[in-house]
Amino acid sequence: MKQKVNTLIITSIIALLALCGIQAYLIHNTYQLKKDVFIRETKRAINNIDNTKEMDSLAELWYTYLSKSLAEYKQNNIQKKEALNRFKPKADSLNDLFIQYYKKEIASRNLEYDIQYKKDIKSIVIFEDEKMDTIFSASNGENIYAFGEKFPKKDEVVMSKARWFTDLDYENEINEGSIKMSLDIEVRTVDYINIIGWKRIVFKQMATLFVFSVLLLLFVVSLMFYSIRNLIRQKKLADIKTDFINNITHELKTPMATLGIASKSLRKPEIQNSPDAFSNTLDILDRQNSRLQKLVDQVVTNSLGSEEIVLKKEEILDDTYFQNVLKDFELSVQNKNVSITSKIEFREVHLSIDKFMFTTALLNVLDNAVKYGKEKVEIVFRTYLRDDHYEISIHDNGIGISEKEQRKIFEKFYRVSKGDIHDVKGLGLGLFYTSQIVKAHQGTISLESKPDLGTTFTIIVPVNA
């Protein structure tokens, strides 16, 4: 049974993890889809930002600066590196105009979020006849020729790519003369945008899905937890019931067997003809019948919860009451090696308790001290008055209780065992009933114990409650 429950729990956890994985995958796919749609809509909103007269004018300006530098380079007046260096300041000076233009155009789109825009020159190549001369390429490093706002590479979203050709006409002096030359220039550019806070916007669009997914996951986890807890509880109850049935069956067998033997004996002529033997047999029947009745009463009465217990309180004097309880208990265990030391609160304290119920609770604790005691049982009974609470301490030198057992000691039908063996007779109701009686008196009961060092039960009840 235990193996089946463990297998079911492991299977449920694996299924839950699989469900979480599938849900995470679907959310991730939805996120990617929302992101792509959002970026595509943004691109569509600003897709004509370059197709204006202002942009053509700005492009003409930087093209003019570039052409002059390249013409100087082709005339062998400057080196390639110097041609690029001459173009760089001109490009930087134009950048403020590009930024103003981009901001004005983006603002005219009336978007609900901010966008940064830039144009990078990726390469400049000159074609002369069938020869190709690469003036600049940004493929292997950071691009230094850009128009627009600067933003990190990780935030770049490609808006568009362009590749355009133009002719460069210049005069090349040869032998004190000049020849008009024409070159083809290829310029590659890439436009980027940076959508400020796009993740927050996409997440906001997915807020409903996130909330629903989290609530669904919490519901499934709660349902699984509730089901597993109930399964474990049902298994525990089944084990307790089985143990209880075994215990009560064992307890009932002895008096029933004795009753059977005694009833058969009454049929024998020698018993019927002997008044003493007949009387002794009837006494045996009465005692065993009384024992059976007590077992039944114990099951019925000791199963009550604190809210079901009806108290009939009366005012008692603590010293007199506790001394009488201890005297009665000593008489019941006079044939056993039990010594009791008592120290009652020196001040007179009047307690309002149900005398019968509270005595039952104390006797249950004292009985346990004897049941689980060593060969010589030593019990120390002490009481204290602390402010408006009365504390009763019962310490024994018994076998003690492990921490694992202590958490369950007040549960119904639970009995402390050694391994799988119950060495002490009982139904596991005594301490449960004791705790319910104390609770009914608005009190508390606790214990401290260590194996082989004994156990101390502490009962605290309010004074005149």
Q: What is the pLDDT of residues 137-166, one digit of tens each?
A: 886 555 667 788 888 888 888 888 888 887
The pLDDT, as a whole number, for residue 250 is: 58
- For the chain, what are the domain ranges? 46-205, 306-462
Bridge partners, residue 338, by sequence = 377
Q: Residue 28, exposed/middle/buried by CB under 10 A (0-12, 13-18, 19+)?
A: exposed
Q: For the residues of 100-127, what is the DSSP string, one character each? A: HHHHHHHHHTT-SS-EEEEEEEEEEEEE
Query: pTM for the full model?
Result: 0.47
What's the Cα-to-Cα distance from 449 to each of 241, 358, 382, rounded to whole Å?
A: 27, 23, 17
272: which 2 tokens? 């019927």
pLDDT at 351: 92
Q: Exposed (0-12), middle (13-18) or buried (19+): which is 12, by Cβ within 10 Å?
A: middle
Positive or negative CA dihedral for 221, 222, 226, 229? positive
> How far is 91 from 110, CA to CA, in rounded Å?
29
Residue 185: which residues within 8 A CB-CB, separation 6 or more?
67, 70, 124, 125, 126, 127, 165, 166, 167, 168
- Residue 429 phi, psi dihedral angles, 5° rounding: -115, -15
10-residue mean pLDDT profile of the chain (465 residues): values are: 74 85 88 88 83 79 81 80 79 83 84 86 82 79 73 87 78 62 82 88 86 87 85 74 65 72 82 82 78 66 64 90 89 84 91 88 88 86 91 90 79 58 54 86 90 89 80
Q: Domain 306-462 is of which CATH architecture?
A: 2-Layer Sandwich (3.30)
CA dist 248 → 49, 150, 240, 305 (Å)? 90, 85, 12, 20
Q: What is the residue-wise DSSP string for 188-237?
A: EEEEEEEETTHHHHHHHHTHHHHHHHHHHHHHHHHHHHHHHHHHHHHHHH
Q: 446 and 265 in contact (C-beta within 8 Å)?
A: no
Separation of alpha carbons 442 and 171, rounded Å: 110
**What pLDDT does 385 receive?**
92
SS3 content of the chain, % helix, strand, coil (to 5): 55, 25, 25
Burial of 18 (C-beta count, 10 Å sphere; 0-12/13-18/19+): exposed
Side-chain half-sphere exposure of 49, counting CA atoms within 13 A:
29
Tokens of 98: 């590009």
pLDDT of residue 144: 64
Q: What are phi and psi of 3, to 5 degrees?
A: -65, -40
List CB contacts of 339: < 8 A, sequence separation 6 or more. 376, 377, 378, 379
- Yes or no: say if 180 and 99 are a contact pair by the CB < 8 Å rule: no
CA dihedral 280, 285, 289, 290 (to 10 degrees): 0
